[in-house]
Structure 1
């Protein structure tokens, strides 16, 4: 399985919460098979007791959210899929922040929903390795032709383990990850161009610090936070990397890549010159960085490519600094003149059918039904004139209140076969995504299109090994924690102590499991290359 770039919080599950979810799953004593259905999910007849299909859904704790098992979207599912298939679809809520821990408990108790999902590929691999998942090849062939056609071989390959299909990855329609944004109004006030290199950015940050073009109290040239460090420096650090073979680029930990040390030394210099948020290492949730941006104190920052479009940034910024105008930029050019940056792989979340499920055929029919363009459109946008209006072919003003509320952008938690808008065209998908985030404010369309284009140019994806890295499962959590601490310590270190500290921390990282993971990656990489050359 491809582990991707997702990280999951490890939070212990309380007994009371477990009890409530177990009750939500229920014990389905009705195990009669559903009526025979065609590949599009429709049934030839509806006879006998209804079959109950349980499907996971994230509870994101959104204020004012409707009943996650009884709303516009679940009613549509039961009307359009449930009735024709003589089935009842019940949604089992799983707290978003505890999803991996909850799945572990439910799987161990054989109580996981018939269709469960996670963004953590390593978790799915572990379930497959322990023989806890249905092998889906035959089900896909018999009941999933529409699904196979929609996802394609590349996306489906991310859900294979030891040559067998064990999960159904969602198609990720938008691949951008990091983004970099600068106050264009500040540049204009200072008569400065949009920076396109690291040196130009440095000069701009110094000007922001010294001239304070926003006339704000406590100007912050570059805002960042410990919580968002990967986003902030995800485009910067690779721009320092030197020449590498493909094997070195793929398998070598970033800490040992040529030039990586220079990248952090440059960041250390910026911090020592008060060009970066002074207390970023204490900002574990990015709450302070968000506040600084929305209060108009910040000239430059890095985040998700769509960050300025989100309501938590867009609305308070308009109120506090109505003249603020952030634009997307590409400023980290490497020695070859490329602006390399990591992008998402083609897959999103992983849906799977636990071995304990008694409704595997119905589960596959459900996922296959969802791949119908008409179904996807309704689940993402609702009914025209009720949930949205069409403007130049883009759905606008998607309803966000009452039972029409979508608890995730474009109903991500109910559209398990796709991550992102699906209108069959990338530019339309980007504009639609922007419209959904900005609730119809077309002024954000250009920012979204520009940011997406910039942050997929010269992009590279994580190498797909197709097999699990056992050392990563064993040491991944420890190394993930160490990685965050290393970044913080190196950036705030005294410049004279930087080199020795970098060498010391990297050695500790490699000794704590980094070398084991790297060695296993090298082994798998060479096996793949050897196999492909035969």
Structure 2
């Protein structure tokens, strides 16, 4: 190997309550395999591999553990055995993986299978269009577990109508959405908010009515942090006001810039009022993620915006100071236009590519069959470890054994993936009962009908690459100034008018729309 016991509530009508303590990151625990096929391409002749001949491949992948897994790692060897493959894996620390990946791509000496943590950089997209990587579009149908990935994910990875990458899939639903202290709602006699007005009323009550019961005005309705060029945790308000997900909103067949829409102006007025009335921290614009998380963990804030699977980061510490703390998330919220909505993720965390110049079609098929096996029920189970060695059966799932940590195979999951629509639901175990896990699965099932995805995943604009970051920082800076009352809303109106008349800024919109149309071009 080369290496360079929490509190819960049951669902009520359109809502489901979430555990104060949750589990693993999305994609770390593909327990349900709900969309995985019982067969793989290894079961038929399309794999290109035979029983008596092992296919040898080179692989480049990041590692996130303190140490990379060894070449003779027991789980690596088991994947090789089951897929009739031999992988020569170069593992590179995630701290400098992108830099090393760029050097490797530029050299032209590309391994047979390569992980790209960001497959949408201009140079990678250019290489795809120039035919540097295999177009796997006509092959996907032959690999049942790859073919079972949701169409949204395959569409998000298209480049001019073709799929040159195999997405490292993650759950679509369960993405960032308001998480609310249910115990505070109950104490103050408040219903679960559905509209933005409802949400404001809850924020106000959580700030003014002493929900923690200490007799002091020391709590915030909502907390979060922002970025220098984006709204960070506060983006949920822009999304809700615009009934959108992110900077671009699909209107018919055209993408609209949400920063220029009336909903974003309304958001600024809304948050300015919240800031003025002390419903959000006065220093929110300077806070780091760890600081707003500390407010939540210390029982000083009642609403935040995060993914379901990350609730554990808050809840496991929160119950130490507030033993009766309970957390919930609405099934949906209602935008000002009356639409019920939730937020859908991109469904991917990077991708894998296969170079065409050095990989034959036979080897391509063997690699796809190997990845297809990784997405099968058996392949996903192996990602957890060997039964009786690394894991053991529990009441409804599995629990880790000490040998799992000793054998250090977690980063094999950077190569082998499979789609689990419940990937953002924490596994049943120490903090989540079997019934609660089932309740959260139902939340995911029900949320799918309301979730809105970003239509602009991976779309590139040459003009944006040149000047876009500067525009985004100026836009974000003015948003913060308006929210904090340092600039009137009229300053925002004036700037929006200027952006609409700015030919270079409008060129970004033109190019993003062209890229969107090209994505589905045949």
Q: What TM-score do the two structures reach when normalised by structure 2?
A: 0.75
**Alpha carbons of 1:375 and 1:69: their partners in 2 closer, same or farther (altered >3 Å)?**
farther
1:190 Cα deviation (Å)? 1.9
Report if the CA contact (8 A) 1:197-1:331 is conserved.
Answer: no
**3-state secondary structure, aligned to 2:194:** coil
Give the alignment of 1:310-389 within 5 angstroms: 310=312, 312-329=313-330, 332-345=333-346, 349-355=350-356, 357-358=358-359, 361-372=362-373, 373-389=376-392
Q: Deviations over 1:381-428 (max 9, x none)?
A: 333344344457x533245742455647xx641324x3x53xxxx5xx
**Alpha carbons of 1:520 and 1:319: their partners in 2 closer, same or farther (altered >3 Å)?**
same
Aligned residues: 471
In the alignment, the residues of structure 2 paired with residue 459 and residue 66 of structure 1 have an alpha-carbon distance, to the nearest angstrom, of 37
Q: Specify the alignment match of 1:194 in structure 2.
A: 192
**Alpha carbons of 1:465 and 1:200: their partners in 2 closer, same or farther (altered >3 Å)?**
closer
**3-state secondary structure, aligned to 2:251:** helix
Report if the CA contact (8 A) 1:197-1:332 is conserved.
Answer: yes
In the alignment, the residues of structure 2 paired with residue 177 and residue 509 of structure 1 have an alpha-carbon distance, to the nearest angstrom, of 31
**Alpha carbons of 1:213 and 1:245: their partners in 2 closer, same or farther (altered >3 Å)?**
closer
In the alignment, the residues of structure 2 paired with residue 399 and residue 509 of structure 1 have an alpha-carbon distance, to the nearest angstrom, of 59
Give the alignment of 1:105-124 within 5 angstroms: 105-123=103-121, 124=124
In the alignment, the residues of structure 1 paired with residue 105 and residue 510 of structure 2 have an alpha-carbon distance, to the nearest angstrom, of 31
Report if the CA contact (8 A) 1:253-1:514 is conserved.
Answer: no
Report if the CA contact (8 A) 1:170-1:349 is conserved.
Answer: yes
Q: Specify the alignment match of 2:50 in structure 1.
A: 43
Give the alignment of 1:68-217 within 5 angstroms: 69-81=71-83, 84-85=84-85, 88-123=86-121, 124-129=124-129, 131-136=131-136, 140=139, 145-146=143-144, 149-151=147-149, 155-215=153-213
**Alpha carbons of 1:509 and 1:280: their partners in 2 closer, same or farther (altered >3 Å)?**
farther
**3-state secondary structure, aligned to 1:349:** strand
1:99 Cα deviation (Å)? 3.9
1:289 Cα deviation (Å)? 1.1
In the alignment, the residues of structure 1 paired with residue 75 and residue 468 of structure 2 have an alpha-carbon distance, to the nearest angstrom, of 37
Segment of structure 1 superposing worse, 257-266 or 233-242: 233-242
Unaligned runs of 5+ residues in structure 2 are 5-43
Segment of structure 1 superposing worse, 247-256 or 268-277: 247-256
Q: Specify the alignment match of 1:236 in structure 2.
A: 237
Report if the CA contact (8 A) 1:162-1:467 is conserved.
Answer: no
Q: Specify the alignment match of 1:30 in structure 2.
A: none
**Alpha carbons of 1:145 and 1:224: their partners in 2 closer, same or farther (altered >3 Å)?**
closer
1:269 Cα deviation (Å)? 1.2
Report if the CA contact (8 A) 1:169-1:350 is conserved.
Answer: yes
**Alpha carbons of 1:412 and 1:235: their partners in 2 closer, same or farther (altered >3 Å)?**
farther
Q: Specify the alignment match of 2:489 in structure 1.
A: 498
Give the alignment of 1:27-42 within 5 angstroms: 38-40=45-47, 42=49
Give the alignment of 1:239-318 within 5 angstroms: 239-241=240-242, 247=251, 250-284=254-288, 286-308=289-311, 310=312, 312-318=313-319
**Alpha carbons of 1:71 and 1:466: their partners in 2 closer, same or farther (altered >3 Å)?**
closer
Unaligned runs of 5+ residues in structure 1 are 1-18, 22-36
**Alpha carbons of 1:144 and 1:94: their partners in 2 closer, same or farther (altered >3 Å)?**
farther
Report if the CA contact (8 A) 1:147-1:367 is conserved.
Answer: no
**Alpha carbons of 1:263 and 1:160: their partners in 2 closer, same or farther (altered >3 Å)?**
closer
In the alignment, the residues of structure 2 paired with residue 74 and residue 482 of structure 1 have an alpha-carbon distance, to the nearest angstrom, of 48
In the alignment, the residues of structure 2 paired with residue 463 and residue 122 of structure 1 have an alpha-carbon distance, to the nearest angstrom, of 14
1:446 Cα deviation (Å)? 6.0
Q: Deviations over 1:338-382 (max 9, x none)?
A: 232441245553211135645774354133223232442233333
Report if the CA contact (8 A) 1:397-1:436 is conserved.
Answer: no
1:146 Cα deviation (Å)? 4.3
Q: What TM-score do the two structures reach when normalised by structure 1?
A: 0.74
1:288 Cα deviation (Å)? 0.5
In the alignment, the residues of structure 1 paired with residue 429 and residue 94 of structure 2 have an alpha-carbon distance, to the nearest angstrom, of 20
Give the alignment of 1:511-526 within 5 angstroms: 511=502, 513-523=504-514
In the alignment, the residues of structure 1 paired with residue 235 and residue 354 of structure 2 have an alpha-carbon distance, to the nearest angstrom, of 34
Bigger relative contact order, structure 1 or 2 (CA pairs below 8 A, ≥6 apart): 2
